[in-house]
Amino acid sequence: MMCSGRVDLAHIFRAFVNGVDGVFIGACHLNECNYITHGNYHAQNTVLLGKRILEHVGLNPERLRIQFMSGAEANVFVESVNECIRKVKEIGPLGKGKGESVGKDELKSRLADVARLVPYIKVVNQEKLTSRLQDPDECEKLFTKEEIDKLFSDVVSYYVDPEKCQACMTCARRCPVEAIISAKNQVHIVDQEKCIKCGTCFEVCPPRFGAVTKIVGMPVPPPLPEEKRAVVRKAKEKEVA
């Protein structure tokens, strides 16, 4: 058992990537948190966001469900789990259920993309994920279809400009997932497959260089071939001049 606030969006989509047909989350009643964190609100918001993302990739949002209950309400737990199982069976297998017509390979690719972007999704929606809403109508409006569509169409990427990079190693040292390929006296490269789009490299790049570029909704330029990554120091350029 653990606090429902520790249920991460990554856990949910890892389950779907692995072919699970439905996910059920049990949480304490709102405003009855055993801790001071009120993690059940975070769980609620995570589920609301997860449902919208499921819709975006072409899946029935009813595959994801949360139920609030106390530890003494065993009957509520049993009934809720049974109802969830019944509903998921009614919908059908993942990707082939009612209102779903996504090919197996395409669905796997879409879910994998979502799983990879989870850190970015959480950063973008950080404020909303911490909100404490109780009114069902307000909850329904917390994440809109239009917002989620825009989230995925305007995905942010970061790129190191080879003309400006001075190989100072600052971005590479600060990257939380080691997504920056760096070597002494070589232009740094952002590994787009590893990058979680947190923006740390953009924030820490020394202003005198300004080498990290933020790209929104556009393809990232291809990285320089390794043999062309040698850095020409700005100071040396001036001396030659």
- Predicted confidence (pLDDT) per residue in 215-228, tens digit: 998 889 999 999 99
- Predicted confidence (pLDDT) per residue in 34-48, tens digit: 777 788 999 999 999
Q: Which two tokens stand for residue 234?
A: 């700005």
- Predicted confidence (pLDDT) per residue in 189-240, tens digit: 999 989 989 899 999 999 999 999 999 988 899 999 999 999 977 654 444 4
Domain count, the chain: 2
Q: Which of 153, 176, 208 is the last residue of a domain?
A: 153
- Predicted confidence (pLDDT) per residue in 86-117, tens digit: 999 999 999 998 888 888 899 999 999 999 88
- Separation CA 48–CA 54 (nearest Å): 10
In this prediction the pTM is 0.80
The residue-averaged pLDDT of 177-184 equals 93
Residues 50 and 107 in one domain: yes
Residue 11 lies in domain: 4-153
Residues 189 and 146 in one domain: no
Residues 141 and 205 in one domain: no
Residues 90 and 186 in one domain: no
Q: Which residues contact 27 (CB under 8 A, 6 or more apart)?
A: 4, 39, 40, 43, 44, 66, 67, 68, 69
Exposed / middle / buried, residue 152 (Cβ in 10 Å: 0-12, 13-18, 19+): middle
